[in-house]
Amino acid sequence: MRVLVSGAGGFIGHHLVKHLVAVGCWVRGADLKSPEYEPSPAHEFMLLDLRSPDSCLAAVQGVEHVYHLAADMGGIGYITAGHADIARNNALINAHMLEASRITGVKRFLFTSSACVYPIRLQSSPVNIPLVEAAAWPAEPEEGYGLEKLFAEKLCQYYREDHRLSTRIARLHNVYGPLGTYEGGKEKAPAAICRKVALAGDGGDVEVWGDGEQTRSFMYVADCVEGIVRIMQSDFTGPLNLGTEESLSINEMTDIVAAIAGYRISKKHDVSKPQGVRGRNSENSLLRRILGWEPHTPIREGLVHTFRWIRDELRRAGRIS
């Protein structure tokens, strides 16, 4: 099986490439950049800007399956700072990747969508309503990033209906784990909190965005990779949640990371910082029914691996002892 992973220089894409190579696929990676923390094991790695149609054609040439993960994205600070560039970049990438896959006769195309497609009105309480797939419509997604993801889901559906391109859609909920960006503005909450706790040390202060009572569910990256591959192999073509149903607040997550570190810390809340929707959780009934499987790594276990990796990176950089 010859496959393309777009976004192979990114966090999930790099883990996916490692998995697909390990199970015997021939893998081409494509991205603007190489992976940040270790070399890619892809058989071929193309440095390409996938906003261009020609780059997309080069990337999909000769492959049967496309795992399409490339996207302009980051944590809540990044995706709320501006909407024009993110929406434009992702609209171009997604439209050209689908069209290139149609032209070259790709057999299957998996798109990584996001929980950001769900209506804001359903996520105003920390005691959240579990989000079933059908709840995405009538639409009221997050501006920019979320709205574009929802449109790209529809584009996948249209290409399937009009051009018989066999598409799959995974709506990912907050993925974390080792080898993910942990600073610079594109990092997500789990990595940011692990970094802040590691740098704070015992007795230190840890800045938490908002009042910390906002809730989310978090999926360990190994579960995410397994889920993506299972969804690609399934016959189900509609959007599927891929996340855990284990919801917790950012304050609770900070306390878990501090306990893993063995530090007593003080949380300092900065309510001027963006915190996103108030409460969000995955609802996995459909996922369980379709796959007979769901992500299962407990948050505490996944955070142990993530914290240790980030702490070791900071030590290697000489920033902590």
CA distances from 5 to 51, 58, 321 (A): 15, 13, 37
Among 3, 4, 5, 10, binds ligand NAD (CB under 6 A): 10
**Least separation in angstroms between CB 321 and ligand NAD:** 29
Q: In angstroms, rounded to a whole number, what is the distance separating the alpha carbons of residues 49 and 71?
A: 11
Binding of ligand NAD by 141 (CB under 6 A): no
**Least separation in angstroms between CB 76 and ligand NAD:** 11
User: DSSP letter string over 58-114?
Assistant: HHHTT-SEEEE------SHHHHHH-SHHHHHHHHHHHHHHHHHHHHTT-SEEEEEEE
Interacting residues with ligand NAD between 68 and 107 (CB under 6 A): 69-73, 89, 93
In 3D space, the residue among 36, 22, 44, 24 whose CA is nearest the CA of residue 6 turns out to be: 44
The residues with which 269 forms a beta bridge, in sequence order, are 208
Q: In angstroms, rounded to a whole number, what is the distance separating the alpha carbons of residues 195 and 197?
A: 6
Interacting residues with ligand NAD between 151 and 210 (CB under 6 A): 172, 174-175, 188
**Least separation in angstroms between CB 263 and ligand NAD:** 25
Binding of ligand NAD by 231 (CB under 6 A): no
C-alpha torsion 197→281→83→195, nearest 10: 10
Among 26, 43, 46, 49, binds ligand NAD (CB under 6 A): 49
* Among the residue ranges 47-55, 99-107, 192-200, 251-259, the one whose residues contact ligand NAD (CB under 6 A): 47-55
User: DSSP letter string over 126-140?
Assistant: SSPPPB-GGGG-S--
From 118, 145, 159, 176, active-site residue: 145
Binding of ligand NAD by 112 (CB under 6 A): yes
Question: Count of residues binding ligand NAD (CB under 6 A)?
Answer: 26
Q: In angstroms, rounded to a whole number, what is the distance separating the alpha carbons of residues 5 and 8?
A: 6
* Among the residue ranges 66-74, 125-133, 257-265, 306-314, the one whose residues contact ligand NAD (CB under 6 A): 66-74
* Among the residue ranges 31-39, 154-162, 246-254, 295-303, the one whose residues contact ligand NAD (CB under 6 A): 31-39
- Cβ closer to ligand NAD: 12 or 260? 12
- Cβ closer to ligand NAD: 104 or 320? 104
145 counts as catalytic: yes
The residues with which 168 forms a beta bridge, in sequence order, are 110
What is the spatial order of strands in the sheet that 2-6 belongs to? 44-47, 26-31, 2-6, 65-68, 108-114, 166-172, 239-242
* Residues involved in catalysis: 145
In the complex, the residues that contact ligand NAD under the rule CB under 6 A are 7, 9-13, 31-33, 48-51, 69-73, 89, 93, 112, 114, 172, 174-175, 188
